Structure 1
Amino acid sequence: MSDQPDNLVLLYLRRLDERTGRMEEDMRDLKGRVTLLEQRVAAGFTHLEGTIAHQTARLDRLENRLERVERRLDLLPPAAE
């Protein structure tokens, strides 16, 4: 009987972990899409706006790389798979 609640808690924690992992992936996808939109909109405007959109894209890529490095060094919890 006492094993059942522990298993339920673990089950719900695993589900939350999976959902969090999917949300992280979705956020990365959305950031990439917004950056692409910024670049396309900026292409119709001045060079300065295009440069800003380009810098945003570079920062997004650097953020993803830094997160991967932090995970490898165990500075962040592992991503849900």
Structure 2
Amino acid sequence: MGVMAAEADILNFIGEQFRRLNARFDRKDVEDVETKMRLSSIDEHLGGIMMSVAGLNSRLDRVEERLGRVERRLDLTDAR
């Protein structure tokens, strides 16, 4: 095997390693996009849950107000 053939083998080997690295980076890029999409979906769902909790808190506040009025009318409140 001559010097030129050995250099060609080395260049081929390096080229193959770069192709493998590029393929891995491409797969990683796809995985990153999928991860970002999933995180975005989770953010949207979390936002919906937070809105639901806020609505429930608002309803609970109104129930507490009404209960307070009922207690006052029935004179069930503590004398403080």
Q: Normalising to structure 1: TM-score of the pair?
A: 0.54
Distance in 2, matches of 1:38 and 1:5, equals: 49
Instruction: Tell me which stretches of 4 or more aligned residues in structure 1 moved more than 3 Å.
Output: none
- Residue 71 (structure 2) aligns with: 41
Say which structure is richer in helix.
Answer: 2
Distance in 1, matches of 2:74 and 2:34, equals: 60
Quote the offset at 1:45 in angstroms.
Answer: 1.6
Distance in 1, matches of 2:34 and 2:63, equals: 43
- Residue 22 (structure 2) aligns with: none
Higher RCO, 1 or 2 (CA under 8 Å, sep at least 6)?
Answer: 1
Structure label with greater radius of gyration: 2
Residue correspondences, number:
47
- Residue 52 (structure 2) aligns with: 22
Distance in 1, matches of 2:38 and 2:63, equals: 37
Gaps of 5+ in 2: 1-29
Gaps of 5+ in 1: 50-81
> Aligned partner of 1:3: which letter?
V
**CA offsets per residue over residues 33-57 of structure 1, 9 Å max, x none?**
01101100111128xx6xxxxxxxx
- Backbone CA RMSD of aligned residues: 1.5
